[in-house]
Chain A
Amino acid sequence: MKSDLSLNPLPSAPPEIGRGEFILNVDGLVTRLNNGARIVDDISFSIKQGETFALLGESGCGKSMTALSLMRLLPDGIRIASGDIKLDEEDILALPEYAMRKVRGGQMAMIFQEPGLSLNPVMTVGDQIAEALKLHQKLRGDEIRPRCVELLEQVGISDAFRRANEYPFQLSGGMKQRVMIAMALAGQPKLLIADEPTTALDVTIQAQVLKLLRDTQQKTGMALLLITHDLGVVAQMAHQVGVMYAGQIIEQAPREQLFARPAHPYTQKLFAALPDAGRSGQPLAAIPGNVPPLGASLAACRFAPRCDKAWALCHDQVPEWTQLENGQGVRCHLYTSQIGSDKLNLNVPLSPGSSTASGEVAGEEGSDSSLLQVENLQVHFPIHKGILKRTVGHVKAVDGVSMNIPAGRTLALVGESGCGKTTVGKALLQLITPTAGSVRFAGHELIGISARQLRKQRAGMQMIFQDPYASLNPKMRVAEILQEGMDALSIANNSDERQRRIDELLEQVGLEKASKWRYPHEFSGGQRQRIAIARVLAVNPNLLICDEPTSALDVSVQAQILNLLKSLQQQLGLSYLFISHNLAVVEYLAHEVYVMYLGRIVERGTVKEVLHAPKHPYTQALLSAVPRIDGQGMKTVRLAGETPSPSNPPQGCHFHTRCAHAMAECHKEYPGETIITATHRVHCYLAAE
């Protein structure tokens, strides 16, 4: 990985803006809980005018708390203990609250992760922007409305005059985030803090919003503090990067250098933990363990327990901040002591061996017998209207999906949110009754059979859910959770056998036996996902439907779970239907990929065919929208607009409204299937030619 990157200097760098004076200086910032635990611990950084500084880190590292400290908006019970924050030579921490109100939104603005929650649902968008204008620009009366419209146009909202009179619920997620940005821009801030601005958005929308942020920065010359956990976003946006771990910045460097030569073992591991096709043969370099909880002991290097290069010194002494010659700063003993530099020179390879060769070795066998056959599956939800609740139309969530999963293989279903991926999963499990079609599992038809017959088939097919915090009942202990499926499906009849089975399962997913008497809230997200996996394994399934099982997890933990899924597949010969929007994960784990758009499969084929030689413009757009850490995407295909509503899909090809290559015939009729190779099929007139 490392050598790879240094060979390819980043081609698509973010635009270099005339960077000027330092706008923001943070020096030795410490933010504590009232009980003394340090949430943000001695953080120093500066941002120049027109520069983007990215704070990168996993959840619980104190990124957001750093941002809230800058705004002085910390929640109750948390306060700034010491340090210095200077915005344009003005000491933020010394300002009285009334002056601070002018700074917030005026000189320093912030946008948040969830645009749906940051807008007031009972005020029109225009009124909300006007509020900011009145406060910070001292505009009055007639001046306000034109400026509002101007701002909305600036953030790329078409028909801005009409949109200004609309309420947030009338806008889509991407548009809400644009409105948030417009509001932030209303005060003409010198510094914009963006706290995970695109995490809640689809990749295509994410690409639009990131581009908007870059363009705006170019126009206004404001500084941008970007908080994110996504290395890809950092690669696209940042000039400077600070890597945070457990409340400290452990490495800081210009982006090019960080990506070329990550210095800190944690940063190196983060890069190594990213899944991609190159590694689909071997396990990912997962970082063992979890991010330490807040207020853990601070006597040593915080990363030492998870670091494979740690030695005695790391466990006794806090490493000092070391400035390397090339402008990179790092907080690691490797760079301060003699033993460290010896170790460095050994240069342990980061990812095992060269990786390109061993692509498709595992799981090649056993692909002949078909485990699950789906023919023309349809799920339509009726739309009721009026007093009599008459059906006036249908939401065609899934509209004729066919698929075929062989035993021991992984089929990935990708697409943007709202395209019906999850509905397919639930319909296969009969959690949602399909409207039409056929689902044959291990030779048995599942649609239309009685509840009792269905129960016999239940054990074979199980589901792993997206959110490990919502998928475990908080009032049940782990043993009870694991036992539930066994009880319901009468597996392992006496209680001794069950307890033995539970121990076995916990071991299989890498948890201690003792954890079976605990409640789910005592576990971290990754551990909870392990419990969820153990729960479904308890009934010996053949097919697991994984509904975005890692999207709620941190990169390092995601690697652990992906490794676990992969090794379980090898040990138990499981098949997976892997529902995901994360193409890198899909590339790593899957054998076959189905791309879904508005309830229909638009392209299918093997991983190589679909992800490396996509034929459908939608697949191409999806792939190019994914921010890559190596910066080498396909030729940029930007998607305009957003997914249309499935209750009223466009005439003809569903995609033609957003497609750059749309032709006359695309408006008329849905394109039929074009067979490219034995496995690669696509629904597009372009490919048919």
Chain B
Amino acid sequence: MKQAAHVSIPFYAQNERFSVLNVGVSNMPVILWTDAMIFLLLATILAAALWIRKRPHLVLPWHRVAKGSVGMVSLLLLSLFVLVGLLDTMHYRAALPEKSNGQTVYSAEVLSVFDALAKGIKSRSEKTYSAPLAAYLYAKESMETPDGKILRDYPRLRYGGVHLADPQRELLGDVLKRTVIGALEGLIIGVLLIAVSNMLFHFFIKLRTGRLSTVPEISKDNWIFTFTRAMKNRPFRALLITALLIAMLFGMTINLAAVYHVLGTDKVGQDVLYLALKSIRTGLVIGTVTTLVMLPFALLLGIAAGYLRGWVDDVIQYLYTVLSSIPSVLLIAAAVLMMQVYIEMHPEWFETSAARADLRLLFLCLILGVTSWTGLCRLLRGETLKLRELEYIQAAQAFGVSTSRILTRHIVPNVMHIVLIAVVMDFSSLVLAEAVLSYVGVGVDPSTMSFGTLINSARLEMGREPMVWWTLAAAFGFMLVLVLAANLFADAVRDAFDPRLNRTEAVA
């Protein structure tokens, strides 16, 4: 779907990259299956947050998370990824200018808000590979010079660095200039944003303290004071520095991306930066939805097997032993192929190709979920076996507490640390599993952009001389930051929730 006609878009279109949003009124929103899942997940998280807010002893650990620099910085990074993912989740079909019988006709292409925002880099496709920030193509071509001779050389790019008269000389200077300007712009905007939010915060604080009590320190009561006081807080400082760095990076990227391909282009000339950003949503969906599918299986079966023992344990053990002894790639391949054939036999179900690709993604998540619960289940069974012999469980049994209540009140909270760690560890391995499956040809739909497809396409080019490294580097970099941020954040959360690590604080 992304190979839409792009030739006609003139070069100055870059300046209009925000214009699409204005058309929004007449667009038709589309909610794909995975969109629905993500919205549901979001709603659950919001509801949980509201529920926790009213309970001080549950808020306390989150306050502890907020006090750790690493946790907060990784949360900031993570939320940027989530933001991109969410923007990419709001899908719509654009209204076409011509109408049939007075009815608006919608384009067959499903776009997302992110597509609209990134229209500039989305539409500027080159012919084939070009290196990051290059003005020339990566492959030599035969060109006809004005005087009729055939010359074999690297042609100029269609979009990248077109504004330069002589890229050989000017490129480096221009790139540096744009980098510095971009960084400064980003810094200024970042500082402005922080100042504004600080003033809002100050206003909010004043509003609250004004209502609650009379403040004695009126002389110091200005927004600079609020700021300096906040700066004494270490995680806040770390957060601020990270935010400014990210703002600078954004400024640079936006400035450069306007006239260059920041991360180069791929085989068919698409901007790699755009592909990588689009892959974030696929990664997040596979990571979260699969986990959601897997978690109930692992948690319920694992704990039931460990606590109830007897025939329940036998049945569950046989089940996961059998399941995990089938090679998982084969199992997944069989399921995906069956599903694929089924989908192809019913093309009438799908209005757009995006809907079909999305359903395939969803099924991939389901299949991955159904096949990947065994590891966590085994861990949880072992831990439950250990816990059920502990004396507090026996004390509960002596009170005649019901089995379901023992499971939910005593066992589940005490295995949550394992669940949290396993889920985060699985997140990265699931993103990788997707890459492997895409390689075998049973992964996501070829039209869906994902880290897997990126890596897969880069794989072939690694052996080529000169090497095409940027696709792989982009996928690697994005995945690394995403998974690392998720890991560090999960670590911070686990530490904050472990009562044994937080003795002194809780007493106070």
- Residue numbers in B under 8 Å from A426 (CB-CB): 394
Give Cα distance in the complex from A121 to B57, angstroms: 44
Contacts known (A484-B409, A522-B503); A431 close to B398, Cβ less than 8 A: yes
Given A488-B402, A518-B506, A431 and B397 contact (CB-CB distance below 8 Å): yes
Q: Which of A470, A487, A535 has the most CB of B within 10 A?
A: A470
Instruction: Tell whether B466 is near chain A: CB-to-CB under 8 Å.
Output: no
Q: Which of B335-361 contact A (CB under 8 A)?
A: none
- The answer to whether B391 touches A484 (Cβ under 8 A) is no
A240-266 interface mask toward B, CB cutoff 8 Å, 1 = contact, 0 = none?
000000000000000000000000000
Residue A467, interface by CB 8 Å: yes
Q: List, in ascending order, chain A residues with CB within 8 A of B390's CB.
A: 470-471
Give A426 to B405 CA distance when docked, in angstroms. 21
* Inter-chain contact A463/B500, CB cutoff 8 Å: no
- Once the chains are docked, how many angstroms separate the CA of A465 from the CA of B413? 22
Contacts of A470 in B (CB 8 A): 390-392
Asked if A688 CB lies within 8 Å of chain B CBs, one says: no
Q: Which residues 529-557 in A have Cβ within 8 Å of B in the complex?
A: 532, 535-536, 539
Residues of B within 8 A of A472 (CB): 392
- With known contacts A473-B410, A474-B500, A518-B507, A431–B399 Cβ distance under 8 A: no
User: Interface residues of A, CB < 8 Å — how many?
Assistant: 34
A489 touches B398 (CB 8 A): no
A532 to B398, CA, bound (A): 13
Cross-chain contact B392 with A488 (CB below 8 angstroms)? no
With A458-B399, A489-B399 as known contacts, state yes or no: A471 contacts B503, CB within 8 Å: no
Looking across the interface, which residue of chain B has its beta carbon closest to that of A538?
B399
A487 to B397, CA, bound (A): 13
Judge whether A455 is part of the interface by a CB distance below 8 angstroms. yes
Asked if B394 and A465 make an inter-chain contact with CB atoms under 8 angstroms apart, the answer reads yes
Complex interface: chain A residues within 8 A of B507 (CB):
518, 522
Q: A residues 446-486 with Cβ under 8 Å of B? A: 451, 454-455, 458, 462-463, 465-467, 470-477, 484-485
On whether A471 and B395 interact (CB within 8 A), knowing A484-B409, A489-B400, the answer reads: yes
Neighbour of A429 across the interface among B398, B413, B499, B503, CB < 8 A: B398
- B398, A462: Cβ atoms closer than 8 Å: yes
Q: Residue-by-residue, is B398-412 near A (CB-CB < 8 Å gives 1, otherwise 0)?
A: 111110010001100
Q: A474-B500, A518-B507, A522-B507 are in contact. Are A484 and B397 (CB under 8 A)?
A: no
Residue A670, interface by CB 8 Å: no
Measured between beta carbons, the chain B residues less than 8 angstroms from A475 are: 413-414, 499
Q: Quick one: CB contact mask for A215-228 with B, threshold 8 Å, 1 for yes?
A: 00000000000000
Residue B200 lies at the interface, judged by CB distance under 8 Å to chain A: no
CA distance A532 to B396 in the complex (A): 12
Nearest opposing residue in chain B for A429, CB measure: B398
Q: Which residues of B contact A465 (CB under 8 A)?
A: 391, 394-395
Q: Which B residues touch A309, using CB under 8 A? A: none
- Whether, in the assembled complex, A169 has its beta carbon less than 8 Å from a beta carbon of chain B, the answer is no
Q: A488-B400, A489-B399 are in contact. Are A471 and B391 (CB under 8 A)?
A: yes
Nearest residue (CB) in B for A486 is B399
- B410: chain A residues at CB < 8 Å are 473, 476
Cα(A487)–Cα(B399), bound, Å: 9
Bound-state Cα–Cα, A535 to B399, Å: 10
Within 8 A of B (CB), among A95-142: none
Q: Which residues of B are found within 8 Å of A466, using beta-carbon distances? A: 391
Cβ contact within 8 Å between B409 and A519: no
Residue of B at shortest CB range from A473? B392
The answer to whether B392 and A519 touch across the interface, beta carbons within 8 angstroms, is no
Contact yes or no, B414 A474, CB < 8 A: yes
Main secondary structure of the interface of B (DSSP, over half): helix
Say whether, besides A466-B391, A473-B392, A519 and B499 are in contact (CB < 8 Å).
yes
Residue of B nearest to A471 (CB): B391
A517 interface contact, C-beta 8 A: yes
Given A473-B410, A475-B414, A477-B57, does the pair A485, B391 have CB atoms closer than 8 Å? no
Q: Is A521 an interface residue (CB 8 A)?
A: yes
Instruction: Give A582 Cβ to nearest chain B Cβ, in Å.
Output: 19
Which residues of chain A are near B503, meaning CB under 8 Å?
Answer: 521-522
The answer for the CA separation of A536 and B506 in the assembled complex, in Å, is 26
Given contacts A519-B506, A521-B503, whether A484 and B394 have CB atoms under 8 Å apart is: no
Contact A522 B409, CB 8 Å, known A431-B398, A465-B394, A470-B392: no
B497 nearest CB neighbor, chain A only: A475
B313–chain A nearest beta-carbon distance, Å: 13
- In the assembled complex, the Cα of A292 lies from the Cα of B400 at a distance in Å of 38
Whether B413 and A485, one on each chain, are in contact in the complex, defined by CB atoms closer than 8 angstroms, is no
Q: Tell me the smallest distance from the CB of B307 to a CB of chain A, in Å.
A: 14
Contact A484/B396 with A475-B413, A475-B499 known, Cβ cut-off 8 Å: yes
Docked pose: A471 CA to B394 CA in angstroms: 8
Q: List residues of chain B with CB within 8 A of the CB of A519.
A: 499, 506
Q: How far is the CB of B477 from chain A (nearest CB, A)?
A: 35
Asked if B391 contacts A467 (CB within 8 A), the reply is yes
Q: Which residues of A contact B401 (CB under 8 A)?
A: 484-485, 487-488
Q: How far is the CB of B382 from chain A (nearest CB, A)?
A: 18
Q: Please report the C-alpha to C-alpha distance between residue A467 and residue B405 in the assembled complex, in whole angstroms.
A: 23
Q: How far apart are the CA atoms of A463 and B398 in the complex, in Å?
A: 7
Partner of B414, one of A429, A473, A532: A473
* Chain A residues near B391 (CB-CB < 8 A): 465-467, 470-471
In the bound complex, do residue A454 and residue B400 qualify as a contact, i.e. CB atoms below 8 Å apart? yes
Docked-complex contact B398 and A458, CB < 8 angstroms? yes
Expressed in whole angstroms, the minimum distance between the Cβ of B192 and any Cβ of chain A is 42
Most buried by B among A471, A484, A518, A536: A484
Which of B394, B399, B410 is packed against the most chain A CB atoms within 10 Å?
B399
B101 → A minimal CB distance (Å): 64
Quick check: A485 and B409 within 8 Å, CB to CB?
A: no
With both chains docked as a complex, state the minimum distance between the C-beta of A308 and any C-beta of chain B, in angstroms.
27
CA separation between A455 and B398, bound complex, in Å? Answer: 9
Please indicate the chain A residues that have their CB under 8 angstroms from the CB of B402 in the complex.
Answer: 488
Within B138-189, which residues are at the interface with A (CB < 8 Å)?
none
Give the CA-CA distance A256 to B258 in the complex, in Å.
91
List A residues 485-518 near B (Cβ within 8 Å): 485, 487-489, 517-518
The answer to whether A431 touches B394, judged by C-beta atoms less than 8 angstroms apart, is: yes
Q: Which of B407-448 contact A (CB under 8 A)?
A: 409-410, 413-414
* Shortest distance between the CB of A76 and any CB in chain B (Å): 17
Nearest B residue (CB) for A475? B413
Cα separation A485 to B402 with both chains bound (whole Å): 11
Residue of A nearest to B389 (CB): A470
Among B274-332, those with CB < 8 Å from A are none
In the docked arrangement, what's the CA distance between A458 and B399, Å?
Answer: 6
Which residue, of B398, B410, B506, has the highest number of chain A Cβ atoms within 10 A?
B398
CA distance in complex: A473, B397 (Å) = 13
B411, closest chain A residue (CB): A473
Indicate the member of B391, B397, B499, B500 with the most A CB atoms within 10 Å: B391
Question: Distance (Å) between the CB of B501 and the closest chain A CB?
Answer: 9
Cα of A518 to Cα of B508 in the assembled complex, Å: 10
Closest to A432 in B: B394
Closest-by-CB residue of B relative to A519 is B499
The residue from A451, A463, A522 contacting B506, defined by CB atoms under 8 A apart: A522
Return A490 CB to nearest CB of chain B, in Å: 10
State how many angstroms separate the Cβ of B395 from the closest Cβ of chain A: 6
CA distance A431 to B503 in the complex (A): 33
A296 CA / B414 CA spacing, docked (Å): 31
Q: Would you mind naming 16 contact pairs between A and B with Cβ atoms under 8 Å apart?
A: A429-B398, A431-B397, A458-B400, A465-B395, A471-B391, A476-B409, A484-B409, A485-B399, A487-B401, A488-B401, A488-B405, A489-B399, A517-B57, A518-B506, A518-B507, A519-B499
Chain B residues in the interface with A (C-beta under 8 A): 57, 390-392, 394-402, 405, 409-410, 413-414, 499-500, 503, 506-507
The 4 tightest CB contacts between A and B, nearest first, are: A471-B391, A475-B413, A465-B391, A485-B399
**A-B contact sample (17 more), CB < 8 A, given A484-B401, A485-B401, A518-B507:** A463-B394, A465-B391, A465-B394, A465-B395, A470-B390, A470-B391, A470-B392, A472-B392, A473-B392, A473-B413, A474-B499, A475-B414, A488-B399, A488-B400, A489-B400, A519-B499, A539-B399
